[in-house]
Amino acid sequence: MEWYINKGSKVCVLCERTFVEEEAYLSALYDEHSEFIRKDFCVECWDKKGEGDTFSHWKTKVPKKPEAAQRYANIDVFYDLFNKLENENDASRVNFRYVLSLYLMRKKVLKLKSSHKSNGNEYLVLHNVKEDKDTEVLKPQLSKEEVLAVTDEIGKLVNCAPQNSAGNAEAPNFSSL
């Protein structure tokens, strides 16, 4: 036989006062019609509860709310990284800058102005809204896996949680750029 016990209500069953964060309160299990029912009581109301069919009881407290974690780094961090990588020639840094440019376009910091080919390479001409100037970004031929690897590297660098923690994130579709 499987037993189901309801979660704590975070409200005193007698005075109906809501328990505050880290407040101690008492919980009791009652055997009602062959079913366990949990009832929560503030410390002040515990002695007023009466005996009834109390099966068990315990003292507990409202857990402290976890601090909200910042999911994404400040946009200025990404913008600064993008600018610092401007004259890099290393392939991994070029890839890194390209993916950063896509993110910054999505955040409307950069706007696609045009694209052109030079010496067999494709370049994006982006308007930098913050500085009101144009900049070029080499568009490398990245596979889906390479885009995910660069995105993961960016996340680790700025200590951000991935958007899809299930591990099956899909790469963004960049073919229209």
pLDDT at 19: 95
Dihedral of the alpha carbons of 137, 138, 144, 147, in degrees to the nearest 10: -50
Tell me the CB-side half-sphere exposure of residue 47, using CA atoms within 13 A: 1
pLDDT for 134 = 94
Residue 43 has φ and ψ, to the nearest 5°, of: -60, -40
Instruction: Report which residue type is found at 49.
Output: K
With CA atoms as reference, report the closest residue to 116 among 34, 31, 53, 177: 177
The whole-number pLDDT of residue 158 equals 62
If phi > 0 it is left, if psi is from -120 to 50 it is alpha, else beta; for residue 40 that is beta
Name the pairing type of β-strands 54-61 and 110-118. unpaired
pLDDT at 163 (0 to 100):
44
Q: What is the pLDDT of residue 47?
A: 85
The per-residue pLDDT for 12 is 96
Question: What strands lie across the sheet with 110-118, from one edge to the other?
Answer: 110-118, 121-128, 133-139
Provide the pLDDT for residue 173.
Answer: 38
Range list of β-strands (E), 7-82: 24-32, 35-42, 54-61
Task: Provide the pLDDT for residue 5.
Answer: 74
Q: Quick: pLDDT tens for 24-36.
A: 999 998 887 778 8
Q: Is 84 helix (H, G, I), strand (E, B) or coil?
A: helix
Return all residues near 47 (Cβ < 8 A) that are at least 6 apart: none
Q: Which residues of the chain have pLDDT under 50?
A: 161-177
Q: Residue 84's pLDDT is what?
A: 92
> What pLDDT shows up at residue 114?
95
pTM as predicted? 0.50
